[in-house]
């Protein structure tokens, strides 16, 4: 037995003894008899208490239950036994599950696959479900692209330890002898992240070549990098990202050399302790060429760094972030998305306690400006240099509650422009501040008599600054402060259906602050509020509210009285009125009546100005919904004061809008179909506003949709909200759409009936499988055909053709139009665009297959305005790719890439068709050799006069090289893959 009494991995399982009397019972006999006739079965075994995962038996031929030495055993035999453990797949010819110790012993050809897809094969494996550790012998592991094997293996805390291990990413490459592999005394696998090996021999084609004391291999996108090259601006350059591992962490050493610039260096470090640590730093020499001005952040070199640290303990936490990025264009993948600024180092360091009060926090948050000659870039949020806090979030608890906090710090931030003394200090100032905050409340848990409620609340926030006010002569006087103090008290009594509440509150903001972020408008507010409610019955209630402003000594806002009655579930009555107690005047009366006996509903709302005796508003909405039909009506009537008090004859009173538009709708909604008709009419002048018809018929996968909307010629009357309305022209807008499976046909139109209006038509077809869309569009203006054109767009996802988008627009002849620069009487191609990959000859999958050829990238032809008939050529990473397939999954890719208009390089140019004006497109040549587990890339850019070599290890190395060199294939497609990968 090993640690904690666990069975050694070399000891063979449980002795098979005849069944004792404990298991010789009738229910067990019947169970075994049933299993005998069911060689394949599924059953859930009790979830282990430690791991909390359920073990489900999928297939087995025989099951035995035993009790040995007080331990319950479940023994399964199969060919093999198949089990599922919350997504983990387990197979073994013989399985012994100890229900007492929560251990699972797997014997024979064991296959264990976890949720992440990691596969472990072993001769014998013992799994301890309490902590998810295991021990195994004769182990083979497939983790991502790496293959590992060894005689003894253990897993603890998610890490897998392999003794005398062998590992290689070339196992799946069908190589007779792996191009490279590693033999190590000890291998530690962190699934999905990295492999650390110690005492390592590097094997090249099976021969020991180099001994390394330690080796680090990443299982994610972080990979070693080696690149050589020559460019016009930098001369010969070397880029290397070399992995390392140490007792305090692991990562990459970054080395850069540029012939015309000098050396660069850096690191990308990951800590391995309890804290989350990552330290990234890169220095690059200044760009070659003309001397940069002093204000340029790259003058003294390019610094890029991000240092992050976070450690959380039960009683305290510590975290920090330091960030700077002088140039996002240099090494763009380094610190991508971090948000650093040129010539500025921003930092945030914070430590705080947890748990028992008081809680302490210390924060240092600010930035360093490394270039005072450049324009200032002060941030709007305050710098805390530093800030200390002591807080009591819970404080005293019970009937009387008290909590608070104190903050003390030195801050730098934009000044308050409304503060005279702060303006004299400048737009960006620094000052100390003491923040004192406390909150008190009192609520008795047991009132002196039933129905009584009483509470007191007080909040005080005082901010005291190190800056001083100035007198009339400019001499400093008292220190500045900003106080916010709020106090309130409420008293309530409930006696049966009657309840009354009284609340008094006072809020004061006084003083001033030198900082803009702390500014609050000075104010003083004292208020007394009272409310009364009477609820003798659930169907009836009466409430009254009043409020008095004690500072101005007026009642504000108006007092409100409300009455609500709901005698029946389908009847609702409400009425509310406001009164100005100060002047003794009644305000607005609002009343509403709601009736909702199914399938009817009616809502009537009425408003009246009581003091003036004037009606204001009457609205009506009604509906009748006998399913599947729906009918509704809505309108309103507004009483205007100017007509209520008129003494002129009716014919002399100007006509203005009194009625809201009448909205009528009717619909028929059987399952899957809809037919609706809506109509809007102005009741003031009897004019129609809009009529719309919608029909939707569906029978999957087919459907038909019809929409016709007619905007009538309409002249609205003036109203208080729109005293000078504009007439609405008559317009018919519609759509007819038929969908038959994957095919969709559309006809859309917009027809204007006013003189000078334009009529537009669209006839379209869409095939949704490949996102194919064709639209024929034409306009009519003043009886002439305008801008007839055919627009095509398609996206293809076939294996041989992968097109993100191909689009074109063709213009048909029309009548001469003096408003355009083009010769509209001719037919011409307006534009043609292509983006994606077109496979002309398929990529080879076997060595005997012929070479493959494909076109990739983006190409566009845009017709120039005018009558020249020329096209601007736009190319982005466009060109052919030739692929070859060799033995042992060896692939070779040769690619020629053009970009136009050219950017960078010598004399960048634009290109036009049909005459290229004697110029030659200057391409980039790429050659990639992919050996499945390593890749080599050579690149020659004739535009930038640049030559590069790159080398990468690990699976998918060719794709890694493409991404590292900013070569992104259209649509994110992969390089052609041979069979079996």
The answer to whether the CB of 238 falls within 8 A of the CB of 230 is: no
Sequence-separated (6 or more) residues with CB below 8 Å from residue 461: 435, 436, 437, 483, 484, 485
Phi then psi for 220, rounded to 5 degrees?
A: -115, -155
Q: Strand 662-668 to strand 207-218: parallel, antiparallel, or no bridges (unpaired)? A: unpaired
Q: Give the per-residue pLDDT at 491.
A: 94
Buried b (16+ CB within 10 A) or exposed e, 31-68: eeeebeeeeeeeeebeebeebeeebebbbbbebbebee
**Rounded-to-integer distance, Cα 113 and Cα 143, Å:** 10
Beta strand 428-442 pairing with 452-470: antiparallel
CA distance 562 to 576: 4
Residue 97, both tokens: 């599950």
CA nearest neighbour of 75 among 62, 90, 64, 61: 64
Region at 192 (left for phi over 0; alpha for psi -120 to 50; beta for the rest): left
627 is written with which tokens? 């399913």
Give the Cα separation of 871 and 859 in Å (integer): 12
Q: Determine the longest span between alpha carbons in the chain, in angstroms.
A: 117
Tens-place pLDDT, residues 232-287: 888 888 988 888 877 778 888 999 999 888 999 999 998 877 888 999 999 999 98
For 805-824, the DSSP string reads EEEEEEEPP----TTSSS-T
Q: Which residues of the chain have pLDDT under 70?
A: 1-52, 220-223, 376, 640-657, 720-721, 769-770, 797-802, 819, 821-823, 903-908, 915-919, 954-981
Q: Does residue 326 contact residue 371 with C-beta atoms inside 8 Å?
A: no
How is residue 768 annotated by DSSP? Answer: T
The SS3 call for residue 33 is helix
Contact (Cβ atoms closer than 8 angstroms) between residue 95 and residue 67:
no
Which helix (H) or strand (E) element contains residue 91?
strand 88-98
Cα–Cα dist 633/624, whole Å: 9
The label of the residue with tokens 């050493």 reads: 253
d(CA 836, CA 386): 54
pLDDT in tens, 312-356: 999 999 999 999 998 888 887 788 777 788 888 999 999 999 988
How far apart CA 413 and CA 485 sit, in angstroms, is 25
Q: In whole angstroms, how large is the CA radius of gyration of the chain?
A: 41
Beta-carbon count within 10 A of 632 CB: 16
Please state, in angstroms and as integers, the Cα–Cα distance from residue 555 to each residue in 207, 578, 648, following that order. Answer: 97, 12, 39
Q: Where are the domains of the chain?
A: 25-218, 224-352, 378-521, 524-635, 654-717+725-782
Q: How far is CA 55 from CA 17, 39, 86, 116, 220, in A?
A: 25, 19, 7, 18, 31
Q: Where are the beta strands (DSSP E) in 205-275?
A: 207-218, 225-231, 235-246, 249-258, 262-271
Q: Report the distance separating Cα 157 and Cα 409, nearest Å.
A: 43
What is the C-alpha separation between 49 and 129, in angstroms, rounded? 9
- DSSP 3-state assignment of 172? helix
Residues 641, 609: contact at Cβ < 8 Å? no
197 three-state secondary structure: strand
| Cα–Cα distance for residue pair 896/923, rounded to 1 Å | 6
Exposure string of 798-817, with b = 16+ CB inside 10 Å and e = fewer, is eeebbbbbbbbbbbeebeeb
CA distance 270 to 221: 14
**In 639-686, where do the E strands start and end?**
662-668, 674-681
């Amino acid at each position: 037995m090993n640690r904690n009494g666990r069975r050694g991995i070399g000891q063979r399982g449980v002795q098979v003894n005849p069944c004792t009397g404990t298991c010789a019972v009738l229910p067990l006999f019947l169970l075994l008899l049933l299993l005998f006739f069911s060689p394949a079965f599924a059953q859930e075994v009790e979830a282990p208490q430690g791991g909390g995962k359920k073990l489900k038996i999928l297939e087995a031929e025989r099951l035995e239950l035993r009790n040995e030495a007080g331990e319950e055993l479940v023994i399964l035999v199969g060919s093999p036994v198949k089990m599922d453990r919350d997504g983990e797949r387990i197979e073994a010819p013989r399985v012994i599950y100890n229900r007492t110790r929560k251990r699972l012993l797997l014997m024979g050809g064991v296959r264990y696959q976890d949720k992440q897809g990691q596969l472990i094969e072993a001769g014998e494996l013992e799994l301890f479900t309490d902590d998810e550790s295991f021990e195994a012998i004769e182990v083979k592991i497939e983790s991502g692209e790496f293959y590992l094997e060894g005689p003894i293996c253990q897993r603890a805390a998610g890490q897998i330890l392999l003794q005398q291990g062998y590992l290689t990413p070339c196992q799946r490459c069908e190589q007779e002898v792996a191009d490279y592999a590693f033999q190590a005394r000890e291998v530690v696998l962190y699934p999905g992240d990295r492999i650390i090996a110690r005492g390592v021999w590097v094997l090249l084609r099976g021969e020991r070549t180099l001994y390394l004391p330690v080796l680090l291999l990443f299982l994610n996108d972080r990979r070693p990098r080696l690149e050589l090259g020559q460019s016009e601006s930098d001369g010969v350059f070397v880029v290397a990202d070399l992995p390392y591992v140490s007792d305090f962490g692991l990562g990459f050493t970054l080395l850069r050399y540029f012939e015309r610039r000098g050396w660069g260096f850096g690191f990308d470090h990951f800590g391995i302790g309890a804290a989350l640590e990552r330290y990234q730093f890169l220095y690059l020499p200044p760009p070659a060429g003309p001397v940069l001005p002093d204000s340029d952040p790259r003058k003294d070199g390019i610094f890029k760094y991000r240092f992050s640290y976070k450690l959380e303990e039960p009683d305290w936490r510590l975290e920090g972030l330091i960030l700077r990025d002088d140039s996002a264009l240099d090494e763009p993948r380094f610190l991508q998305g971090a948000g650093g600024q040129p010539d500025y180092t921003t930092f945030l360091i914070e430590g705080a306690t947890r748990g028992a009060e008081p809680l302490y926090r210390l924060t240092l948050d600010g930035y360093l400006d490394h270039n005072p000659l450049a324009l200032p870039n002060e941030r709007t949020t305050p710098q805390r240099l530093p800030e200390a806090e002591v807080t009591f979030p819970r404080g005293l608890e019970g009937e009387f509650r008290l909590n608070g906090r104190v903050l003390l710090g030195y801050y730098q931030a934009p000044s308050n422009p409304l503060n005279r003394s702060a303006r004299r200090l400048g737009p960006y100032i620094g000052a100390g501040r003491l923040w004192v905050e406390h909150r008190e409340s009192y609520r008795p848990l047991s009132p002196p008599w039933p129905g009584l409620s009483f509470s007191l609340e007080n909040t005080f926030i005082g901010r005291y600054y190190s800056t001083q006010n100035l007198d009339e002569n400019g001499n400093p006087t008292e220190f500045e402060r900003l106080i916010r103090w709020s106090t309130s008290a409420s008293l309530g009594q409930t006696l049966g259906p009657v309840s009354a509440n009284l609340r008094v509150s006072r809020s004061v903001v006084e003083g001033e602050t030198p900082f803009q972020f702390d500014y609050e408008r000075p104010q003083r507010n004292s208020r007394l509020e009272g409310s009364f409610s009477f609820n003798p019955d659930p169907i009836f209630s009466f409430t009254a509210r009043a409020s008095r402003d004690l500072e101005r000594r007026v009642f504000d806002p108006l007092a409100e009285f409300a009455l609500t009655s709901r005698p029946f579930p389908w009847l609702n009555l409400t009425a509310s009125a406001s009164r100005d107690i100060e002047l003794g005047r009644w305000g607005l009366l609002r009343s509403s009546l709601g009736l909702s006996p199914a399938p009817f509903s009616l809502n009537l709302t009425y408003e009246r100005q009581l003091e003036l005796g004037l009606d204001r508003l009457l609205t009506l909405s009604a509906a009748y919904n006998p399913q599947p039909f729906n009918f509704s009506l809505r309108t309103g009537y507004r009483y205007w004061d100017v007509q209520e008090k008129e003494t002129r004859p009716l014919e002399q009173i100007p006509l203005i809008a009194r009625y809201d538009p009448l909205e009528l709708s009717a619909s028929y909604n059987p399952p899957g179909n809809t037919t609706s008709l809506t109509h809007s009419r102005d009741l003031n002048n009897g004019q129609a506003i809009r009529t719309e018809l919608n029909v939707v018929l569906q029978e999957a996968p087919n459907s038909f949709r019809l929409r016709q909307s007619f905007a009538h010629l309409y002249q609205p009357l003036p109203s208080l909200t729109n005293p000078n309305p504009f007439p609405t022209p008559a317009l018919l807008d519609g759509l007819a759409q038929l969908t038959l499976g994957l095919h969709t046909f559309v006809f859309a139109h917009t027809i204007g009936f006013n003189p000078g209006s334009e009529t537009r038509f669209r006839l379209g077809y869409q095939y949704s499988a490949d996102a194919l869309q064709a639209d024929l569009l034409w306009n009519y203006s003043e009886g002439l055909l305008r801008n007839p054109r055919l627009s095509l767009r398609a996206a293809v996802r076939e294996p041989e053709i992968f097109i993100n988008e191909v689009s074109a627009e063709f213009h048909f002849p029309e009548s001469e139009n003096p408003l355009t620069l083009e010769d509209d009487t001719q037919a011409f191609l307006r534009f043609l665009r292509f983006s994606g990959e077109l496979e002309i000859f398929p990529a080879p999958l076997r060595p005997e297959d012929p070479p493959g050829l494909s076109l990739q990238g983006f190409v566009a032809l845009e017709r120039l305005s005018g009558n020249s008939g020329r096209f601007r050529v736009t190319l982005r990473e466009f060109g052919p790719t030739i692929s070859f397939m060799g033995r042992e999954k060896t692939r070779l890719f040769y690619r020629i890439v053009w970009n136009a208009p050219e950017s960078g390089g010598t004399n960048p140019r634009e290109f036009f068709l049909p005459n290229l004006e004697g110029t030659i497109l200057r391409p980039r040549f790429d050659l990639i050799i992919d050996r499945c587990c390593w890749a080599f890339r050579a690149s020659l850019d004739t535009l930038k006069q640049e030559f590069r070599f790159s080398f990468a290890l690990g699976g998918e190395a060719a794709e890694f090289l493409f991404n590292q060199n900013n070569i992104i294939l259209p649509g994110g497609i992969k390089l052609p893959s041979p069979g079996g990968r």
